[in-house]
Amino acid sequence: MSESATSTGALGPDHGYGPDIDYVLLSEEQIQAKIAELAAQIADDYAGKEVLLVGVLKGAVLFMSDFARALQLPTQMEFMAVSSYGSATSSSGVVRILKDLDRDITDKHVLVLEDIIDSGLTLSWLLKNLGGRAPASLEVCALLRKPDAVKVEVPVKYIGFDIPNEFVVGYGLDYAERYRDLPYIATLKPEVYQ
């Protein structure tokens, strides 16, 4: 399940970042509606099961928080932090665990919550790593995907939005650790990167 995104043009609340924002790609309303849709689908697919949500820090933290509350199922939460960037805006493909899970996932129904799939290198590595820990099932729910940037095809069952191949911030996604607190997803003006 995926849907193409379009610019809304409206800035909405800017948390003081207003001058840096180029345009809003996905509004808070669009994001929250999509999360409700994904949660309903996933509640159906996992009916009768307990799901272990694995949020990939830091980008998926707002997604995890909203998704866990929308999902009408008993869930447990775990977080993993990995580093995959060689520079500020492009993936190196070299993945390092900064924070591992706090528990064994053997026989658990694991659903990885990822903020965005760009090259797919991070997720590909993560799925191999988690798959080696013998979960009962292992699926991915990614809020965003950039189809034109994908270098490695990764089996992703649930996708919120397909977006253009642009660097985006907000709703957990940062540039130099800023903008994560925006409730929407936006692009930045070119001068911000200079």
Ligand X SMILES: Nc1nc2c(ncn2[C@@H]2O[C@H](COP(=O)(O)O)[C@@H](O)[C@H]2O)c(=O)[nH]1
Catalytic positions, please?
118
Helical ranges in the chain per DSSP H? 28-45, 61-70, 121-131
Candidates 25, 110, 119, 186; binder of ligand X (CB under 6 A) is 119
Applying CB under 6 A, does 35 fall inside the site for ligand X?
Answer: no
Helices 28-45, 61-70: crossing angle, 10 deg rounding = 60
Applying CB under 5 A, does 118 fall inside the site for Mg ion?
Answer: no
- Enter the tokens of residue 144: 């965003």
Task: Provide the CA 25 distance to its chain's centre, in angstroms.
Answer: 15
Burial class from Cβ neighbours inside 10 Å (0-12, 13-18, 19+) for residue 190 reads exposed
Name which of residues 138 to 177 contact ligand X (CB under 6 A).
167-169, 173-175
73/168 with CB nearer ligand X: 168
Per-residue interface string for the shown chain with ligand X, residues 85-104, x marking contact by CB under 6 A: ------x-------------
Residue 91, binding choice from Mg ion, ligand X, none, Cβ under 5 to 8 Å by partner class: ligand X
